[in-house]
């Protein structure tokens, strides 16, 4: 599947790490315009620019957001720095697409939202899964009533990453823990399909550093449906997701939060629909194209993931962390 043509924003990349490389590769696949990259290290910025044919490099974030030829900044640093850097870019008149999780907590997310509103700019969470074609089709299926009365949703995001206490997934000072880095996907998925949770229960195993290494949630939603999630950074599971209704269910294959295949299955096992993903690259270009279309229409918010919903999802993550006893340095 070829994505629609770009309306033509000029992108700057803030933080040329691994996720930024995946993002830039997909932007190049889609023909989007990356004009600058900024890093605290001039050498890192130069290496990224050479890899992705980016014209200008900046050895500081201030220089990047001051670049007059940059319209929108993709923020790809660790999440404890997102709020400060997003606000920096917004104050320099740049739209921002901020990697998930949007910030460290809901208070920071609200601060970014308020600055964007004051400046009349787009601040959008880079929850790229929402913008993938298979998720668009699943929303159509859910909305059509094909599944009947939705009773449950379940999803896992489990990876074997690292037990090194200095790794960012285990370091509280870097916002470590499976929930914010991995659990954000199934929690956002539940919000997308079922809406705001009414009740939340959670249990977790904490590592030696105090960061959550495994965490499970049960949430109830206004329709009466239940959602469950399991996220882990010390063990790799199936990474599948399911939406279960009275008339049919959706089974999303591994890896469900990437561009993936799925089936709609009747209670008797009959396959009612089978969807196979056919996109170029990983699929991160779809969120960027959505951001460009929003700006081209003169709007400053995403209909698919409004900034108020991003703030509310961060509040859900705050509540889950409170339930399991994970608090980051500096939080009251």
Render pLDDT for 108-159 as a digit per residue (tens, 0 to 9).
999 999 999 999 999 999 999 999 999 999 999 999 999 999 999 999 999 9
* pLDDT < 50 positions in the chain: 1-6
Name the 3-class secondary structure at 270: coil
Distance between CA 251 and CA 305 in Å, rounded?
23
Q: Are 84 and 73 in contact (CB under 8 A)?
A: no
Q: Which residues belong to CATH 3.30.360.10 in the chain?
A: 133-278+314-324
To the query of whether residue 100 is one of the catalytic residues in this protein, the response is yes
Predicted confidence at residue 330, as pLDDT, reads 87
- 327 contacts: CB under 8 Å, gap ≥ 6: 172, 321
What is the pTM (predicted TM-score) of this model?
Answer: 0.95
Residue-wise burial string across 248-261, b where 16 or more C-beta atoms lie within 10 A, e elsewhere: bbbbbbeebbbbbe
84: exposed, middle or buried (Cβ count in 10 Å: 0-12, 13-18, 19+): middle
Residues carrying CATH 3.40.50.720, the chain: 10-128+283-301
Domain over 10-128+283-301 is classified CATH 3.40.50.720? yes
Q: Which residues contact 241 (CB under 8 A, 6 or more apart)?
A: 153, 154, 155, 156, 186, 189, 252, 256, 257
Cα 110 from Cα 170, distance rounded (Å): 26
Quick check: 190 and 257 in contact, CB under 8 A? no
Per-residue confidence (pLDDT) for residue 6, from 0 to 100: 47
**Cα-flanking dihedrals φ and ψ of residue 9, to 5°?**
-75, 155
Which is the catalytic residue, given 58, 82, 95, 100? 100
Q: Which fold has domain 133-278+314-324?
A: Dihydrodipicolinate Reductase; domain 2 (3.30.360)
pLDDT at 187: 98
């Amino acid at each position: 599947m070829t994505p629609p043509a770009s309306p033509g924003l000029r992108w700057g990349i803030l933080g040329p790490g691994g996720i930024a490389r995946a993002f830039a590769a997909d932007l190049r696949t889609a023909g989007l315009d990356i004009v600058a990259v900024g890093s605290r290290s001039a050498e890192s910025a130069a290496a990224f620019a050479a890899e992705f044919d980016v014209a200008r490099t900046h050895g500081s974030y201030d220089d990047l957001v001051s670049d007059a030829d940059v319209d929108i900044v993709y923020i790809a640093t660790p999440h404890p720095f997102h709020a400060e850097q997003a606000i920096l870019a917004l104050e320099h008149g740049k739209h921002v697409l901020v990697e998930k999780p949007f910030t460290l907590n809901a208070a920071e997310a609200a601060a970014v939202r308020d600055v964007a509103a004051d400046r009349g700019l787009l601040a959008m969470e880079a929850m790229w899964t929402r913008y993938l074609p298979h998720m668009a089709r699943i929303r159509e299926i859910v909305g059509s009533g094909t599944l009947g009365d939705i009773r449950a949703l379940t999803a896992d995001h489990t990876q074997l990453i690292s037990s090194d206490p200095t790794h960012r997934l285990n370091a509280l000072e870097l916002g470590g823990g499976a929930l914010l880095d991995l659990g954000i996907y199934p929690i956002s998925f539940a919000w997308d399909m079922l809406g705001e949770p009414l009740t939340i229960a959670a249990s977790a195993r904490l590592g030696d550093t105090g960061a959550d290494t495994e965490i499970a949630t049960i949430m109830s939603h206004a329709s009466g449906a239940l959602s469950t999630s399991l996220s882990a950074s010390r063990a790799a599971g199936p990474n599948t997701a399911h939406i279960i209704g009275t008339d049919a269910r959706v089974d999303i294959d591994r890896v469900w939060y990437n561009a993936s295949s799925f089936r709609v299955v009747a209670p008797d096992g009959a396959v009612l629909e089978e969807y196979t993903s056919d996109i170029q690259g990983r699929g991160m270009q779809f969120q960027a194209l959505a951001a460009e279309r929003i700006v081209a229409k003169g709007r400053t918010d995403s209909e698919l993931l409004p900034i108020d919903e991003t703030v509310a999802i961060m509040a859900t993550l705050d509540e889950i962390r409170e339930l399991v006893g994970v608090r980051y340095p500096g939080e009251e």
